[in-house]
Chain A
Amino acid sequence: MAAYRSAAGFQRVLHAVKHVCFSKQRCGVIICRYSTVYDPTEKTFDKILIANRGEIACRVIKTCKKMGIKTVAVHSDVDSSAVHVKMADEAVCVGPAPTNKSYLNMDAIMNAIKQTGAQAVHPGYGFLSENKQFAKRLAAEGVSFIGPDTHAIQAMGDKIESKLIAKAAKVNTIPGFDGVVKDAEEAVKIAGEIGYPVMIKASAGGGGKGMRIAWNDEETREGFRFSSQEAASSFGDDRLLIEKFIDNPRHIEIQVLADKHGNALWLNERECSIQRRNQKVVEEAPSTFLDPDTRRAMGEQAVSLAKAVKYSSAGTVEFLVDSKKNFYFLEMNTRLQVEHPITECITGLDLVQQMIRIAMGYKLQHKQSDIPINGWAIESRVYAEDPYKSFGLPSIGRLSQYQEPLDLRNVRVDSGIEEGSDISIYYDPMISKLVTYGKTREEALKKMEEALDNYVIRGVTHNIPLLREIIVHPRFVSGDISTKFLPEVYPDGFKGHMLTAGERRELLATAAALYVAAQLRSQKFLGDLRVSVVPAESRQWELCVELDKGVHMLGVSRSGNNYTVEIDGEKVEVSGEWNLASALLPLTINGKHRTLQCLLRTAAGEITLQYLGTSFKLRVLSKLAASLSKHMPEKVPEDTSSILRSPMPGSVVAVSVKPGDNVAEGQEICVIEAMKMQNSMTAAKAAKVKSVHCKAGDTVGEGDLLVELE
């Protein structure tokens, strides 16, 4: 840890990224792309309580350790052996698993503060981080809240108020009109003032319902007619909302840092457009889209907003940016953001350290001109969820094997779990934030590919297949993204990596070579060889490999660790160590380096390989076994239209049918809630309900039978 500690007196100089910090961890050298420039003479808190869990608690504790601050973790009973608890100097249990009884339990947390004598609280993100009540109670007890003042939390927490303040601070807001529009001509006038395109809808209609986009006066008149009719008939409310329509919006946010002395800085932007259900998936800093002028304009507006609310600490101003680089204020998050590491990577600042200093009342160390953009950083949010179901439905389980790609250079992994940890239904299913860094975006992206391929996660379903696809998608690589990226690129849902003919051959060849390597090893007995002979190795293995219903005849020959696989007249050379115990399979395929993972290898020839992020199920059989396979009986798959199984672990909120009921196709049968998401389960066909296997309040696992139809 010595590398983090610079000599006293050196701390006023920004410790930029070109100076890398090394930290010996496990098997390799990892680089943390931020510097905690720690001045031992600068007085700080003795002890900080972190009112959070998981990776963010660990992240805060890391900086506290570097600053010589003692740490207190709070935890629920199921988290008693969690990583953040082990890392902290002290730990206090604040209640049972449900968050409202533990991590949101203010009384228990206040008690923990008293009990441990912590002088300050870092709230992390989520939980109590933007709870003004909590901030007030801390202030009343004389405990520092490492975050902004209550009034800033309150002002920015209210959607309407924050917009008004932003407007007053000359921050661009989405121009619009909300009220009764007399006639079509008035609508045209309003639209003209706002500037095309505009969005017209009934004020009372929620979300995007009944929304019409108008690009000119004619369309505005038409939109007015439809919307006003709908407003009257559907909602009995004449009010219309006419607002600037932001086409292909990007979500770009500015990190700000402000002290209690009226100083504020902007630490450049983060591009967070890749989202699903309004949750960010892949973020990067800087954005490919912003030019220096736009960046400065956004930065300055963000700072002026921060100053307008007398903001102190780290905060984030979120903007929507349209295709013409017009940007509009969305909201301000008055906390440390999940994706803060990428800002740390390109600026070299330790945001947690800065927050602690600011909370102590120190002035900012840096001037705006000190803030660089050094290189490029990408963050992938690795989640325990199934990306094949609406880009990610939560999955739970025990991490039976877990290995972060930390022996790669320029990789940072922020996580709060380890091998053996449980991903439970109680908390956010995020496994980690995988951050890669490079001098250029290209370098950072290449590194991300490598890091994702080398990331071993077993025991829970994870979204690496999706992440791995996003970062190599031509639209993403070219920077052509918007918040609609996922639904636009995968209109029918995410289906995993689509293999090219060449990739398919690589995959088949790897499976065949792995099969032969395993077969050869199973003939190697050590020690006593009574009545045993080593069978003469055949010069050529004839194998049949199945992949997605396609059957391929392969010829495999071996020379040491090098395998030559012939597929449809094409030769593929595969070589590697063939360590059959290792989770990772580093190979050279036709001269290219590739890391695959073997997820499953059975005696019956089933091999599941993770290749380019996606897992592929293959079956390798000898020619003989393959030729006899045709006689094997077809197993009739379960008729899934008459049974309803839970698509994910969660709890049953409501069951709307009982045995004997007749249900129509698509009718709601029950509602499952998991990780704050309610999912309505519907009937796949019109039928009579045969039996119901769950009731409201039950906890169900993935694949559990809920209802049977006749």
Chain B
Amino acid sequence: MDYIYQVRLTTHISSAIGSLTHALLQNARCYSVSHLSVQERIEQKRKAALTGGGQLRIAAQHKRGKLTARERLELLLDPDSFVEYDMFVEHRCSDFGMEADHNKYPGDSVVTGQGRINGRLVYVFSQDFTVFGGSLSGAHAQKICKIMDQAMMVGAPVIGLNDSGGARIQEGVESLAGYADIFLRNVMASGVVPQISLIMGPCAGGAVYSPALTDFTFMVKDTSYLFITGPDVVKSVTNEDVTQEELGGAKTHTTVSGVAHRAFENDIDALLNLRNFFNFLPLSNKDPAPVTECHDPRDRLVPGLDTIVPFESTKAYDMLDIVHGIVDEREFFEIMPNYAKNIVVGFARMNGRTVGIVGNQPKVASGCLDINSSVKGARFVRFCDAFNIPIITFVDVPGFLPGTAQEYGGIIRHGAKLLYAFAEATVPKITVITRKAYGGAYDVMSSKHLRGDVNYAWPSAEVAVMGAKGAVQIIFRGKENQAEAEAEYVEKFANPFPAAVRGFVDDIIQPSTTRKRICRDLEVLASKKQTNPWKKHANIPL
């Protein structure tokens, strides 16, 4: 290994076929005269691979405000940790003049391998836009499949840096087959190792389905696009005038479509944030949620929480204030912060251990559940469950959003996804009802009935079928003294007792002690074991 390490230092690269190189180099040493040409060719190929599409194209890439595939990997991975695979792979297309030597690039249009992020193993691929616009050839796909296969065997996450013009048209069905090979592996790896896509340039056509199958899709603002068909085709088919940015830019996908989970300012910002994000994730479904060194006292009281819920139950507050107050060092990596803002999801740590946070956001649409927020929440809960990340749920939900738009849109089947996700999850589940927990939405939000492990209510909690006004109109229809009846209802139901006397909440706690309680519970629940009945796979209402 020492020898390889030196090779890496001198050439700034190392190869997965290290042993072969090793042998070749040794041979070169022993029989330097006879094998000089091979040695030279190795060096030449390596050099060519390192420059990708050549200096001109690199300059063009930089001019677009984008880094090269290799620069990106250098920033993403720990220094000197990248181990490259398949540097000598070339495309095999022999049509349209592609067979010419000047159309062959060692490594083709993608850089693949493994490396470390803060010392932890990760498999990576980085598409090289300077080589045929990063288009996907059979060889390109094969390289990606190789590292994905190994990632699954070893049990380590896969990060893809996407920057590709699409299919290698010259290769025809070979390229399409390549996409499908990757899709299959995305699906096989789903729930086995975390998969993250960072879109750093164009990603169009069939190519979009790989990021869509991965767990998280991040984008770079202004320089990345994701769409099935570009503006020209859109114009010819639907006669809509739309720019690339409007159709599939970072803003569109993080606010309107919900395709992407976060967007970052530029390549550097995105890669540094990705390193930070990676620290939240376990390596695989066999590994526990990671625990990092924590300076925030586990028994810290949060006095501000005692006054955060306003007295008027119609008044909004910011659920993020609660989340920031409770988690370690106020650090919260929010997922989809600008989409379906009536639910808040993201990663944080409690006493150093990664947790998934789900919270209704009273500030937006009263924190109600609608189609988009249900789907957003459900996908997040399922990720946490798949990767052993405990889920902490903060509940302040007035119910599901009524209306034709929602009903016609299928709120019933979409709402069922969140219900399903919480119900099937077997990771530690801790729930805090901060205020309203009304109707079916109460059941959905990680209630005791869906196997919540520890369910707390704050003194401001109201667990009921609906708000006082609506309830009184039904119970006392046509009767006088509605106001009196309403007061009676409030007295009876607008408090945590009806749930607490039945054991549906385990305790009514002082808000300022919430962090302390959750940290303690998580320690106890770390050894939780729960399994669902055997099944081929479950049938979530998609």
Query: Which A residues contact B (CB, under 8 angstroms)?
Result: 77, 80-81, 398-402, 418-421, 521-528, 530-535, 538, 579-582, 603-605, 621, 624-625, 628-629, 631-633, 635
Contact = CB atoms under 8 A, between A and B. Distances in A.
Given A628-B268, A631-B62, A581 B329 contact: yes
CB-CB nearest 3 A-B residue pairs:
A420-B304, A633-B65, A603-B276
Nearest to A524: B293
A632 B156 contact: no
A521 B328 CA distance: 14
Contacts of B321: 398, 400
B293 A526 contact: yes
Contacts of B269: 604
Given A419-B303, A526-B293, A631-B65, 12 more contacts: A400-B324, A418-B304, A421-B307, A524-B292, A525-B119, A527-B290, A530-B155, A531-B156, A581-B296, A624-B75, A632-B268, A635-B222
Contacts of B268: 604, 621, 625, 628-629, 632
B428 to A, nearest CB: 16
A621 B275 CA distance: 14
Contact of A582 (B64, B265, B279, B295): B295
B311 A80 contact: yes
B352 interface: yes
A632 B292 contact: no
B98 interface: no
B44 to A, nearest CB: 26
Nearest to B78: A535
B120 A580 contact: no
A628 B75 CA distance: 9
B66 interface: yes
Contacts of A420: 303-308
Contacts of A631: 62, 65-67, 267
B120 A532 contact: yes
B296 A523 contact: no
Interface in B64-80: 64-67, 71, 74-75, 78-79
B262 to A, nearest CB: 11
B266 A633 contact: yes
B273 interface: yes
Interface in B274-314: 275-277, 279, 283, 287-288, 290-297, 303-308, 311-312
A399 B121 CA distance: 41
12 contacts: A77-B312, A400-B304, A418-B307, A421-B304, A526-B291, A531-B283, A581-B297, A604-B269, A625-B272, A632-B267, A633-B222, A635-B265
Contacts of A418: 303-304, 307
Given A400-B321, A629-B268, A532 B121 contact: yes
B293 A521 contact: yes
B118 interface: yes
Central interface residue in B287, B305, B307, B328, by most chain A CB within 10 Å: B307
Contacts of A604: 264-265, 268-269, 272-273
A628 B119 contact: no
Contact of B304 (A77, A399, A603, A624): A399
Contacts of B118: 522-523, 525, 535
Given A81-B307, A532-B120, A635-B265, A579 B65 contact: no
A182 to B, nearest CB: 67
Interface in B197-233: 222-223
B475 interface: no
Given A534-B119, A535-B119, A632-B267, A521 B272 contact: no
A80 B154 CA distance: 58
Nearest to A82: B307
Contact of A531 (B121, B279, B312): B121
B510 interface: no
Contacts of B318: 398
A530 B295 contact: no
Contacts of B119: 523, 525, 532-535
Contacts of B35: none
Contact of A628 (B67, B264, B307, B311): B67
Contacts of B283: 530-532
